[in-house]
Amino acid sequence: MPVVDTDMDKLSVSPKVKHLVLLGGGHSHLAVLMHLAMKPLPGLQVTLVSRDIHTPYSGSLPGYISGFYKFDDIHIDLRPLAQYCGATLIRDEVRQVNLEKKLVYCTGRPPLEFDFLSLNIGSAPDVYGINGTEHAIAIKPIDRFIDHWQRILTDIKTRATADAPYTVAIVGGGPATVELAFSAQYRVHQELGIKNAESSPLRIQIISADDEVLASHSPKARRIAQSLLHQRDIAFHPGHRVLEFRPNAVICENGQEILADCIIYATGASMAQWPAKCGLKTTADGFIEVTDSLQSTSHEFVFAGGDVASIVGYPRPKSGVYAVRHGKPLAQNLVRFALGKKLTRYIPQKNALALISTGDKGAIASRGSLALHGRWVGTIKTWIDNGFVRKHNHLPPLQVDLALPTGLIRGEEEIALKKHALRCGGCGGKVPDATLTSVISTLPLYQRKNVIPATFETEDAAILMDGDHTIVQSVDYLRAFISDPWLFARIAANHCLGDIHAMGAEPHSAMAIVNLPFAGDKIMAQQLRELMTGCVDVLNDNETALIGGHTSESTELGMGLSINGCCTAGRLLRKKGLQVGDVLILTKPLGTGTLLAADMRRCAMGRWMEEALAVMQVSNRQAVSCLRENNASACTDITGFGLAGHLMEMIGTDGIQVELCLKDLPVMSGAMETLSRGIFSSLHQKNARHRANMYNAEAFNRYPAFELLFDPQTAGGLLAGIPAARVEPCLAALYKAGYADACVVGSVSAGSTGNGAVVLR
């Protein structure tokens, strides 16, 4: 969105004119994001592409293995950090980069155009010359190793219960190997209550091609490590170059075969091959060759930092200690390159302080010829590691001021406006239903034969009858709630199709309306291309033709569709028609409103949003088929007015009552946490007026799921009444079609003389 700065005689705008793409969420790019957050560069569009949403801090991995840390303690959530600096986050893997056309190709989306590029994709253990890697586990990528570690830990404890030994072979010899050996042993012994290593069922074998452990460190550091390995009964096999991994065996060049129940390798670093294949100049050992400005020696618009970068004339170990230090000069030079300024030089220090965990809250400090060991060293390491993670996770809260002069509004109106000064996008940005109804009811609408206007009774779609055929027409529009045009368009298109699906019609054709933020021609074209590609992908999946549309410049991204659908006369599903004895089935979980509101405030965890965004891309097309095949009496899609609002539309004045079971409501991960923190969508409080229609709301207003009833949904699921006898086959069909969260949430009974149409239980 352009930045607008106004006063009496000046209007300043900052359209996006250059695009920086950051490939990888490594330690160096964390510093780039922080730099751009603290010192934004107007006009620069930034996109971060990362396979991981939660990027692990390698320095804290030993503490996690030892059991001192939980998952979130050692991971940096890239989503809030990207939002903090105004960057678009794309979770995907890079397949290829075309340096001539300046395009990045990912696995599941259109190519990204860029003006300049930075790589911080990390390294993996080097297994050149070793066969059978499918029989062993790499310590990197760390997220995959963590999954394996949980299984290994379970296997060890299972063996211990049966009083059987378990052998782990670790191939390596550097700091990562030593830390893994110490930490794994400490964790197992703590969980099994073992104090003496000699009585342990765990046998650890370190296999190294080097003649000594920690070969790149000082003799004193090596002696300390070797002494600790001996004290803890961890075997070290020096001078054993590995040729092959076999199931439960490591084959060495000297002919020795070392048996193991589990094989892990933490060998020297290597890099993915695609950077070299795309034409970047690499060093003899396969890393990206860069100048002392961290700029590629072959392509001036490409930069690299961290393990993948090798600075000409300054060879350094591939270590997180050095990778972190690349961050600041990399950030500065990316900004200077964007501005056409001379780049600054970065000379890496010769000796960096390495803090090597010994698994028991102690650590070895190694720098140059110096080496120390003790619990106090571990305390320093913990302080440094926790500080790094905390700096990138504990971001300043987003402050939004209501820029109105004092006295212009007062009382409850002022409080309400201040509370929701940050307005939601998606369906949480709809006009409240009460406002909509009050206005439309006053309009002198022209009545046309064979046309039933869109009402709360017939879904938000008009019905045009023509003999044996029925045409359904709907329109919807969403303000963007994420900065990724392609992903937003997929969700928006799916949302716009919702009314057609809810009525049991087949979508036929669509016209689009698109608002694009003012930007440079190239960037605007890229945004439109991504947006429309995402839209057309979804329409094609629904066999719906895009037949036209309209585009315009705006202050923010937005997209809507007018959809035409077809249905055989008499086959339409409507909101009205619930029957006494029906059971209510909901096909998708709830929570998008509060999660999107939290996401805007940088308060939602990346994994919560990944789940929510995935759910919002699930079409209701197959769901409505399942519901109709099982004799649905009424159906609606749950969108902006929340479950309570849309349920009340179904009930109307039909003299029925619905029992709703709060504990049975399907909920998205994180939604209950954000609701409990009072993070509501800006439409939430207006939806909450439906409390008045609930017979026993007072008894449940502190129940955790109560507020979920009023949460506005974007691309929500379907709510339908199904005869009790058809519930089991209906749910079975929904599960088979992929609606894993589909469930019964209530039942319909005859109306009572009470004050509410909904009874909570």
Task: Look at the block and give the residue holding tokens 């074998």.
Answer: 205
Q: How far is CA 270 from CA 22, 26, 138, 308, 330, in A?
A: 20, 15, 12, 8, 21
**Which tokens is 6 given?**
């106004």
Nearest CA to 714 out of 602, 623, 609 is that of: 609
Residue 120 and residue 107 in contact, taking contact as beta carbons nearer than 8 Å:
no
**Which tokens is 275 given?**
């950077």
Torsion of CA 366, 370, 371, 376, to 10 degrees: -90
Q: How far apart are CA 57 and CA 284, in angstroms?
A: 28
Count of positions (residues) in the chain:
761
**Which tokens is 588 given?**
């998708």
Residue 714 and residue 592 in contact, taking contact as beta carbons nearer than 8 Å:
yes
**Catalytic position from the list 252, 424, 427, 567:** 427
**Which tokens is 268 given?**
């020297």
Helices of type H across 542-577: none
Q: How far apart are CA 161 and CA 641, in angstroms?
A: 54
β-bridge pairing 202-207 and 235-237? parallel
β-bridge pairing 506-517 and 558-568? antiparallel
Q: Which helix (H) or strand (E) holds 334?
A: helix 320-338
Helices of type H across 364-484: 375-393, 411-419, 433-440
Helices of type H across 39-173: 61-66, 78-84, 142-161
> Phi and psi dihedrals of 609, rounded to 5?
-70, -35
Q: How far apart are CA 579 and CA 656, in angstroms?
A: 8
Residue 667: how many CB atoms within 10 A of its CB? 16
285 CB-contact burial (10 Å; exposed 0-12 / middle 13-18 / buried 19+): middle
Task: Look at the block and give the residue holding tokens 């939660």.
Answer: 54
Rg from Cα positions in the chain = 30
Q: How far apart are CA 745 and CA 662, in angstroms?
A: 7
Active site residue 427: yes
Q: Please list the active-site residues.
A: 427
